[in-house]
A and B are shown apart, each in its own frame.
Chain A
Amino acid sequence: MSELGAALGTLRGAWMAGRPAAEVAPAAWREVAGAGTKGELALAAIAGQALEVAFRLRPGSPPEERPPLPRLGLPVLSDSAREVARRLMASLRSEADKARLIGLLLARGRVMHPADWMPAPGDEWLPDVYGPWLDWLRGAVASGAPSLTETTWPEWPWRACRAELRRLRRADPAAARALIAACAPSEPAEHRVQILELLGEALTEEDASLLAAFANDRSPRAKEIARSLLARLGPGSDDATRAAEQELAGFFTLRSVLLMQRLEVHALTGTVARARRTALAEEVGFPGLAAALGLAEQRLLALMPAKEEEAGVLLQVMAAGTGSAALLPTLRDRALAGALHDTALALLVPRLGREDRLSLTAERIRREADPLFHMSLQLAAQDPGALGLRQIQGAGLGALLSAVPAPAEEQPTARQARERTLAAGLFALGMLADAAAAAVLLERAVAAGLSIADPRLDALRLNAMLVPGHTP
């Protein structure tokens, strides 16, 4: 320690204990400071300045710099769009709404600027393009390995691994299957679930043996996904599954009346029977049930009770979730005709192509007068910002715009409800409309009485700024 440091330490010790520092101060300091109370204060002034000027705090352990925050695979928003996106993101409370905004930006080829918003390390709902940020937040160092193999798997940060696995699944499904079979079992449950969800994309018969290996996974969610995907591929091949299929089929009777077949639903004897039927429906796949009833899937679909009946809902959900790919066009047509229960619809839509999804969403908007576009938002989850003005116009839009002007003598609770509807509905429109429609809707909202500067118009404003192919 330096002489100065030692002197200051001695003075500090004296003052901490309440002893006069003049007794222990260096002689040169005493001479300058003088004696008595004024002298003590002068020594404090000298010591204080010396501490501040001559000494600097040092870290207790060597500080380490994080690796640079990686660039994502898409450009960030421009400055003008950033201001709106920042304000909008700050106003969103639910993960679902944040996911919608992120999805809209992604659809327009943009990502958030990290100074405006960063995810939390556990935000697994983010699309793959944000994977590098999630891995960085978790302190996972990017692998230098050239490719993802059984050997290099442990070196890959999780989100990078998942994105690479998705790419491999499309490019070389057999290689992806082999890698999953070798490496997935040792991953934590959360990762096994995500891997199995990947298998749901472009599912084929060749995935059956891999899925069978996860059919008894120790994670209930992983097990459920594996069994659901297996069920889509056909009736069960093991005794237990076949027995369950037969048991579920036992709740129905196929009758022929004058050359017409009918599927009769047995009356349930009580809550235990109802619970058992429900549990079997979750365990058994639609192809398996059809086979147990001696019917083709399409035939079973045609014979199903109406969606308003409990058994009808149950069978629709089974068909939408585990029906084979060949069933999808028929289910889509039913949905367009309004004959599919919402629960089944929610399972069906992720399995359809983009055109079908958008048609269903537009049809839903046309049918409903919901100013919040609640179900439409769910249906359009994979296709944000894609609907044209003609597809959005309808009773729901009319109901929303008519909520803009405040009625005379409005009660506070009614006003709060109206303002919540406006905020949620305008956000929904911003997530549903394409850029051209968003610009028109923005004008209509202002014409209805909203101020152009109203932050509730931010979703539409941002959408209209992000014209595909243009730099905003």
Chain B
Amino acid sequence: MLPTRKQIETAAPDQAALNAAAGLIKPAKWSGLGRSADDVLVWGECQGSGANPYRVVADVTNLGSKCTCPSRKFPCKHGLALLWMVADGATWPVAEPPAWAAEWVGRRRKGTPPAIRGDSAKSLDGAVRAEPDAPPDPAAEARKAAAAARRSADTRASLLAATEELDRWMADQLRTGLIGFLGEAGERCRRIAARLVDGKAGALAARLDELPSRLLALPAPERPDTALVEFGKLVLLCRAFRDAPDDAELRRELASTETREVLLADPATPRCASAWEAVGEQVVTRRDGLVAVSTWLMNLRPHGPRFALLLDYFPASAGRRSAAFIAGDQFEATLAFYPARAPLRAVIAERADAPSPRLPWPEPDDGDPLAAWLARLEAAPWAQIAPLLLPPGRIATERSGAAWWRRGDTVLPLDGPPSAVALGSDLRAACGLWSGGRLTLLAAQSDWGRLDLV
């Protein structure tokens, strides 16, 4: 039984949610739409304001829904939009529900549809009714522009001051001895991070905040050099920003990222239409209470950047998030890259279905496996990480248990114990992240097929 518009109105938390859902009932906003053979479940992926698409599944019999967006409203605008499209007669191909939909079904407790209240103030028709534009007010526009310019100037000044403060702090650490710094890294980094947040340098603060845990994850003999390397990168970043405070990439490294809307609206934003494979996802809870979800994509065609990073942040209080992609998913998409000297971070501008048949991985270069890392450093010496496509190799372990990726005499240390299948496989190609000191394997093609190594 299909949901009715009245039921959707009743189920909506407020009119604002319906208004927002109205903007999402266009099929172009969705991909992967499908329904179960018993016409109970519908699902799809909706590109929201984040880098990763949101996965939405709904039960049309009782209007239950689940979405990976961070909204605290229930149902969220994506769930409402999906049900709204069904109520308006949209029909999609019958398919086997994807694993992420099955996971929701397994966890949920079924309820009954909300009772319809006749005097509901919420209205789907009201949501689609266009609000008339207010008449232009040149004076108000001028005041808004002036305020924005003042804010921008204030932020610029704050960030410049933050870089000077960070320089002074690093100089102090060197002057008083790295032994002392390494012994108190947690406390010292926390203090400077707090001051950087006050100076509007949120991204820089997060980088300092994460430094102690990075150091502690390493054996003690490696920590001094790692700290020095990071200080060196921060020195270069701060200098670069002082030389070009309006550079978008440098602003992003210090403060915050421009919104998806701003990025897509800029005609100069570099785009790449290609076939992509999700090679791995990392979910990290940061010290500042945000959960960083990184989805690494590999370009399966020869043109454009080899890799892309979709990066979203959610508050940890929003709860556990489902993955936006299943490792190994392939899809056609146009990615819009955040402008950078070595573009990596991107958002999905447009998305289409998976290529058929599946595309093979590109051939890795046969030279230095860290060539891509060195190229990235040359362009952006403050970079902390680079995705790599490694040539054929194997995993080998020392007597101590430390694991290495190896090809001939070239060895790269892994950041954790490898799985048994990785140890016993011939890795014909591998994707991983190089952090300057450790390799995190994401996926590999092997004699056992594709391996998901995260």
Contacts and interface: CB of A to CB of B under 8 A. Distances in A.
B395 A65 contact: yes
B120 to A, nearest CB: 25
B89 interface: no
Contacts of A21: 174
Interface string A231-265: 00000000000000000000000000000000000
B297 interface: no
A308 interface: no
A67 interface: yes
A63 B448 contact: no
Given A18-B176, A44-B235, A115-B451, A12 B225 contact: yes
Contacts of A83: 99
Interface stretch (B75-83, B143-151, B308-316, B416-424): B416-424
B192 interface: no
Interface residues of A, number: 52
Contacts of A113: 448-449
Contacts of B175: 18, 20, 40
Contacts of A137: 420
A16 interface: yes
B448 A16 contact: no
A203 to B, nearest CB: 37
A418 to B, nearest CB: 11
B426 to A, nearest CB: 7
Contacts of A67: 424
B173 to A, nearest CB: 9
B171 A40 contact: yes
B110 A406 contact: yes
A44 to B, nearest CB: 5
B350 interface: no
Interface stretch (B7-15, B125-133, B226-234): B226-234
A53 B377 contact: yes
A453 B236 CA distance: 53
A453 B232 contact: no
A15 B174 contact: yes
A452 B34 CA distance: 14
Given A115-B448, A136-B424, A16 B377 contact: no
A41 B179 contact: no
A455 B398 contact: no
A453 B41 contact: yes
Interface string B233-244: 101100100000
Contact of A46 (B38, B230, B232): B232
A20 B36 CA distance: 69
A405 B233 CA distance: 61
Interface in B160-192: 167-168, 170-171, 174-180
B355 interface: no
B447 interface: yes
A64 interface: yes
Contacts of A18: 174-180
Interface in A32-90: 37-38, 40-42, 44-49, 51-53, 56-69, 83, 87
Contacts of A57: 222, 413, 437
A406 B110 CA distance: 8
Interface string A138-156: 0000000000000000000
A451 B423 CA distance: 39
Contacts of B235: 41-42, 44-45, 48
Interface string B368-406: 001000100100010000000000001111111011101
Contacts of A406: 109-110
A52 B424 contact: no
A74 B404 CA distance: 31
A53 B394 CA distance: 24
Interface in B216-261: 222, 224-225, 228-233, 235-236, 239
A28 interface: no
A183 interface: no
B171 A37 contact: yes
A118 interface: yes
Given A45-B232, A59-B411, A452-B41, A52 B436 contact: yes
Contacts of B97: 451-453
Contacts of B420: 69, 114, 118, 137
A15 B177 contact: yes
Interface stretch (B22-30, B100-108, B271-279, B299-307): B100-108
Contacts of B109: 406, 415
Contacts of A48: 228-233, 235
A417 interface: no
Contacts of B178: 12, 15-16, 18
Interface residues of B, number: 71
B167 A455 contact: no
A12 B228 CA distance: 8
A114 B424 contact: yes
Given A44-B232, A455-B102, A114 B167 contact: no
B424 A69 contact: yes
B105 A451 contact: yes
Most buried by B among A47, A87, A452: A452
B397 A63 contact: yes
Contacts of A64: 396-398
B426 A68 contact: yes
Contacts of B436: 52
A177 interface: no
A231 to B, nearest CB: 42
A186 B235 CA distance: 67
A44 B106 contact: no
A446 interface: yes
Contacts of A65: 394-396, 406
A446 B38 CA distance: 8
Nearest to A64: B396
A49 B101 contact: no
B352 interface: no
Contacts of A451: 36, 38, 40-41, 59, 97, 105
A52 B225 CA distance: 9
B229 A66 contact: no
B425 interface: yes
A21 B173 CA distance: 13
B284 interface: no
A40 B449 CA distance: 51
A206 B177 CA distance: 81
A17 interface: yes
A450 to B, nearest CB: 9
A52 B370 CA distance: 11
Contacts of B437: 57
A453 B105 contact: yes
B37 interface: yes
B377 A68 contact: no
Given A453-B97, A455-B105, A68 B424 contact: yes
Given A40-B171, A451-B40, A59 B398 contact: yes
B332 interface: no
A452 B402 contact: no
Nearest to B228: A48
A451 B178 CA distance: 60
A446 B106 CA distance: 13
Given A41-B235, A45-B233, A118-B421, 18 more contacts: A17-B177, A18-B180, A20-B175, A37-B171, A48-B232, A48-B235, A59-B413, A63-B397, A63-B402, A64-B397, A66-B423, A66-B424, A67-B424, A68-B424, A69-B425, A113-B449, A115-B450, A406-B109
The 3 closest A-B pairs by CB, nearest first: A48-B232, A69-B424, A18-B177
14 contacts: A12-B178, A37-B171, A40-B171, A44-B170, A44-B232, A45-B231, A65-B394, A66-B423, A69-B421, A115-B419, A451-B40, A451-B97, A453-B101, A454-B102
Interface of B: 36-38, 40-41, 59, 97, 99, 101-103, 105-106, 109-110, 167-168, 170-171, 174-180, 222, 224-225, 228-233, 235-236, 239, 370, 374, 377, 381, 394-400, 402-404, 406, 411-413, 419-421, 423-426, 436-437, 447-452
